[in-house]
Amino acid sequence: MRFYWLILGVLAVWRITHLLNAEDGPWDVLVKLRRFAGNSIFGSLLDCFYCLSLWVAAPFASAIGGGWKHRLLLWPALSGGAILLQKLSPPGPSVPAAEYYEEERKE
């Protein structure tokens, strides 16, 4: 039963972290949130998947963990699991290649 909660926690941490870090959200709410955060500490946190996953994992570790030692070990484990999922997921759409280019004229 504990393995179930570990998998559930990792998936939830990854989903919320990915949502806050890389997705637009409905009506571009999350884009607006990231713009509003700007270059502040909170903005830097939203730009870094690794950092953000640590903070998203904290309440999940607190809710899932049994004692303080278990919670303390579960916290980086949930974050690490989310990071592994992020590394295994395919990259987002890339910028398409230019259709043509022009060479400089030699005069």
pLDDT digits (tens, 9 = 90+) for 70-92: 999 999 999 999 999 999 988 77
Domain presence at residue 43 = yes
Domain presence at residue 97 = no
pLDDT reported for residue 85 = 95
The domain in which residue 33 lies consists of 2-88
pTM: 0.79
When divided into structural domains, the chain yields a total of: 1
Domain presence at residue 95 = no
CB contact at 8 A, 9 and 61: yes
Domain presence at residue 31 = yes
Q: Which H or E element spans position 76?
A: helix 68-88
Segment 51-55 shows an average pLDDT of: 95
Domain presence at residue 69 = yes
Segment 10-22 shows an average pLDDT of: 94
Domain presence at residue 76 = yes
Domain presence at residue 50 = yes
Q: What residues contact residue 65 under an 8 Å CB cut-off, 6+ apart?
A: 71, 72, 74, 75
